[in-house]
Amino acid sequence: MGDSISAAYGMSLGEGWVALLENRLQRDHQGLEVVNASISGETSGGGLRRMPVLLRQHVPSIVIIELGGNDGLRGYPIGQLRDNLARMIALAENNDAKVLILPMEIPPNFGKIYTDAFRASFAQAIEGTDATLAAFPLASVALKTDLMQADGIHPTAQAQPRILESVWSSLEALL
């Protein structure tokens, strides 16, 4: 469950890291299915509203949550982001799913205090849960202009394998 980063913004769905993950799972872990419930522009609140239906519909064993970037870009309250993520984790865990949280980063537009609080919200959201906090999945691409689209926010198709490797390093243990 994610936003434009996981919805392959600016490229075909088949080029995105989620499709690459599905290909790897079909090759290495046959029998596992990937459901990409990502929507460009999605916030943690939108993800939280959609999650109960998605959990009932798909009954996942692992839920990957890549949300929060749009909350931060819109200046939403950090406590709201943290609480929405924590509630999504609880919903997934109450449905016997393991949870992997992919933290996001935001530009420093709102200042150091907001940016630091935003970064910390992901670790705070998993406190007291069994969820796993991954590394920032765009760490190896975000500052490389040749791997980012012209908007400076969305990675290119060429960056997607690197994003997958970042996610895979945490996901593999959950499998």
Active site residues: 4, 151, 154
Strands of 132-133's sheet in order across: 62-65, 98-101, 132-133
Nearest alpha carbon to residue 49 among 112, 91, 102: 91
Residue keyed to tokens 């419930």: 37
Report the SS3 class of residue 60: coil
Q: Is 94 exposed, middle or buried (0-12, 13-18, 19+ CB in 10 A)?
A: exposed
> Which two three-digit tokens encode residue 82?
């943290």
Chain centroid, CA 110 distance in Å: 22
Report the SS3 class of residue 31: coil
Residue 103, CA atoms < 13 Å, CB-side half-sphere: 23
Nearest alpha carbon to residue 50 among 9, 3, 11: 3
- Residues 120/81, Cβ–Cβ less than 8 Å: no
